[in-house]
Amino acid sequence: MATTTHQQDPQLLQPQSSSPLPFKYSDRVLLKTLLDRQDGGRGFVGQRVVVGGWVKTSKEVKKLLPPQPQATPASVPPRREEKFLDWEKKGDKDVSCVEIIQSRIPLIRSIWEVFGGGGYGRVHSTPSRKRIESAPSKPATPPPPPPQLSTAYLLITDGSCVASLQVVVESSVAPPSNLLPTGTCILVEGQIETPSTEGKHVIELRADKVLHIGTVDVDKYPLSKKRVPLEMLRDYPQFRPRTTTVATVMRIRNALSFATHSFFNGQGFLDVQVPIMTTTDCEGFGNLFHVAGLELKADKQKLSTIHETDGVSLDVVKAAAKEKSNLVETLKRTESNREALAAAVQDLRKTNELVSQLEAIEKKNIRALSTKDEAVDTSRDLFLTVSGRLHLESYACALGNVYSFGPRFQADKTDSAKQASEMWMVEVEMAFSQLRDAMNCASDFFKHLIEYVLGTCHEDMKFIAKRIDNSCLTRLQQIASCSPEMLSYNEVIDTLRKVEDKKFETNFESGVVLTADHLSYLVDTIYKKPVMIYDYPKEAKPFYCRLNDNGRTVAAFDLVVPKVGTMISGSQNEERINIINSRINELVLPREKYEWYLDLHRNGTVKNSGFTLRFDIMVLFITGLTNVRDVIPFPRSYGKGNN
């Protein structure tokens, strides 16, 4: 198998600039440009930049008020005697002797009265006396205290990296009350500085201009300084990418998407878009979204009557499955005893099996009613595509090697942690190739995705290791350095039959479908690494898989990995038209829906093979999360409000 080397982030290969470059299409500098450097941004100290982002956490530090001035003689009107002393001290030459005597008249009068003197004549007022003996004015009202000054410390993120930037804004620049709430959007301009106090921040931005403030409704905004559980964030898909965890997962998802295209472009594949809606049920079985017209109303009424007659309501059983799934999740989160959890899991498994049986009966009834009722025209009915491999095969028979990357749909109404109604798939088809070629390509592609993330998402993976899965780096490195264990389906059955320390609920019989419990024990406990299982019973795989010479198995494979289960499913496709015809008849598939596919194999047929990688499950595997809805930007699931 071909080996790949770790890719390096192009930005890390560039020389460390002494001046941060703004984003090409705005004046804003991305925080990744400042913070994702070996020096943490110290080389930018003293530079002026414009940054924008959303407030994660904040605090306001009040400044001490300057001491208030005490009352001084200049602020309190002096008494008349004090005025005289003032004049005397100042040596005011404009004060006459008469004025001095007049200012002393009360004192002279008091001495005269003590010695029995009388007849003291009234001293006539003069302008000078009037000025001296005028009533003292009221004390002036003290000025209001100066406004309380403060400093706002804001930790902001713009989604470009894990790290956050501390922004310092004085109250004289912008009111702190408008900046502090979590979720506030700001655009500021200022100078990069070294923090005045030592801490976890290498640099900070001291803002002197606030260019934009996007306020939030604090009472309704769901995020806060504290961590919000991921299951609660699912109810707010419009806000959850503002959390560090979801933002990190989305950056890793982006890296995996880029790695997908780079791998296939490097190997000479062409990207082909397949239809979202099609008249062909590619898998030939399973739960599909059926996009039908008004003419199927009669069928639905008949099916409703059939269910009522049978005494079993599919909707009731599905509702029960959902409640039991919620109970299992609750028991997992709480420290309940293992016996209660095991009993709940077993009960849920049985209920899900009953749902699958009832849905299979419903599908058969739809086919029967559509066949018997000539008034029902199903020629215009459509399915939301569950797989695009048949369509890709037609292009592989002309272009050679093709792939497609897009959404696929499955009407699975059970609340599974590994399944959603809409999931993204990477599908591959190669002309002139057989089963082993597809297995080798799938293994190389899987390793390439792991190595690319390890080589380019350093800080994101450090955060994943710290917050979600502390063993993720070691686990991914080990898997990338080894080859998967290659086992036939029969060898897997024999291996599991020999297990003595665990009891499986499903008996091992010929044609049994391996359950998630089987696969988990196989890769997590026995081999502790990915396992490639091939040559499945024909009943377990779609009709187009090539029938082996024994007539019982088909050339199909699954790549099963620890923690998440089946990651890749593939096959060599049947090129013999007579066997394709017999398989369509065997599974009672509507021939008219597959006439175009049959025609493809009547004209210039070729051996070809391919596979499908469950992209969302790959993101789940890389990040160590447990629910696929936490790695899909806008998860679609039954019974939930979806954007």
**Cα separation values, 489 from 181, 228, 553, 581, Å:** 57, 43, 9, 25
pLDDT average, residue stretch 6-26: 64
Position 282 scores a pLDDT of: 64
pLDDT surpasses 50 at 375:
no
Most confident of 6-15, 80-89, 555-564: 555-564
pLDDT surpasses 50 at 296:
no
pLDDT surpasses 60 at 71:
no
Position 131 scores a pLDDT of: 47
pLDDT digits (tens, 9 = 90+) for 173-214: 999 999 999 999 999 999 999 998 888 899 999 999 999 999
**SS3 of residue 14 by DSSP:** coil
Higher pLDDT, 239 or 379: 239
341-350, 383-392, 548-557: which range is least confident on average?
341-350
pLDDT band at 14 (very low <50, low <70, confident <90, very high): very low
pLDDT average, residue stretch 77-102: 49
Position 29 scores a pLDDT of: 96
615-623 and 244-266 are packed helices; what angle lies between their axes, rounded to 10 degrees?
A: 120
pLDDT average, residue stretch 9-36: 76
pLDDT surpasses 50 at 389:
yes
CA angle, corner 325, sides to 323 and 330, nearest 5? Answer: 95
pLDDT surpasses 70 at 53:
yes
Q: Which two tokens stand for residue 56?
A: 């994660």
Q: Which two tokens stand for residue 365?
A: 């009834």
pLDDT band at 139 (very low <50, low <70, confident <90, very high): low
Which residues fall within 8 angstroms of residue 366, CB to CB, at 6 or more apart? 290, 299, 303
Round to whole Å and give the CA distance between 193 and 172. 19
Listing DSSP states for 460-528 in one string gives: HHHHHHHHT-TTHHHHHHHHHTSPPEEEEHHHHHHHHHT--S---SS---TTPPPPHHHHHIIIIIIS-
pLDDT surpasses 70 at 308:
no
Q: Which two tokens stand for residue 404?
A: 């497609």
pLDDT surpasses 50 at 87:
no
Higher pLDDT, 146 or 348: 348
Which residues fall within 8 angstroms of residue 144, CB to CB, at 6 or more apart? none
* pTM for the structure as a whole: 0.75
74-88, 281-295, 507-521, 606-620: which range is least confident on average?
74-88
Higher pLDDT, 120 or 48: 48
**Cα separation values, 462 from 245, 379, 472, 574, 623, Å:** 12, 53, 9, 45, 11
pLDDT average, residue stretch 575-601: 93
**SS3 of residue 163 by DSSP:** coil
84-93, 317-326, 596-605: which range is least confident on average?
84-93
Percent of the chain residues past pLDDT 90, beyond the cut: 55
pLDDT average, residue stretch 124-140: 53
How many of the other CB atoms lie within 10 Å of CB of 416? 16
pLDDT average, residue stretch 580-603: 92
Q: What residue type is 47 in one-letter code? A: Q
pLDDT surpasses 80 at 123:
no
pLDDT digits (tens, 9 = 90+) for 230-247: 999 999 999 999 999 999
pLDDT surpasses 80 at 12:
no
Residues facing 557 on adjacent strands:
534, 570
pLDDT digits (tens, 9 = 90+) for 155-174: 999 999 999 999 999 999 99
> Could you give the dihedral angle defined by the CA atoms of residues 450, 453, 456 and 458, in that order, rounded to the nearest 10 degrees?
-110
Position 97 scores a pLDDT of: 54
> Could you give the dihedral angle defined by the CA atoms of residues 378, 379, 383 and 388, in that order, rounded to the nearest 10 degrees?
150
Round to whole Å and give the CA distance between 362 and 33. 56
Position 585 scores a pLDDT of: 93
CA angle, corner 225, sides to 219 and 226, nearest 5? Answer: 105
pLDDT digits (tens, 9 = 90+) for 58-69: 999 998 766 666
pLDDT surpasses 80 at 266:
yes
From the list 635, 192, 179, 151, the residue with the least C-alpha distance to 422 is 635
How many of the other CB atoms lie within 10 Å of CB of 335? 6
Helical H runs in 512-573?
516-520
Residue 551 CA, distance from chain mean position? 47
pLDDT surpasses 50 at 3:
no
Question: Would you give the end-to-end CA distance of the chain in angstroms?
Answer: 43
Position 5 scores a pLDDT of: 45
458-467 and 244-266 are packed helices; what angle lies between their axes, rounded to 10 degrees?
A: 130
pLDDT band at 448 (very low <50, low <70, confident <90, very high): very high
Residues facing 50 on adjacent strands:
189
Q: What residue type is 263 in one-letter code? A: F
pLDDT surpasses 70 at 643:
no
pLDDT band at 285 (very low <50, low <70, confident <90, very high): very low
Position 276 scores a pLDDT of: 85
pLDDT band at 636 (very low <50, low <70, confident <90, very high): confident
**SS3 of residue 109 by DSSP:** helix
Position 106 scores a pLDDT of: 56
CA angle, corner 109, sides to 106 and 112, nearest 5? Answer: 155
Higher pLDDT, 451 or 416: 451
Higher pLDDT, 67 or 564: 564
CA angle, corner 311, sides to 308 and 314, nearest 5? Answer: 75
**SS3 of residue 288 by DSSP:** coil
Which residues fall within 8 angstroms of residue 507, CB to CB, at 6 or more apart? none
Higher pLDDT, 501 or 308: 501
Please, are residues 530 and 450 in contact by the beta-carbon 8 Å criterion? Answer: no
Please, are residues 625 and 468 in contact by the beta-carbon 8 Å criterion? Answer: yes
Position 410 scores a pLDDT of: 82
Round to whole Å and give the CA distance between 76 and 78. 6
pLDDT surpasses 90 at 102:
no
pLDDT surpasses 60 at 116:
no
pLDDT surpasses 80 at 460:
yes
Higher pLDDT, 411 or 605: 605
Residue with tokens 């954007």, as numbered in its chain: 643
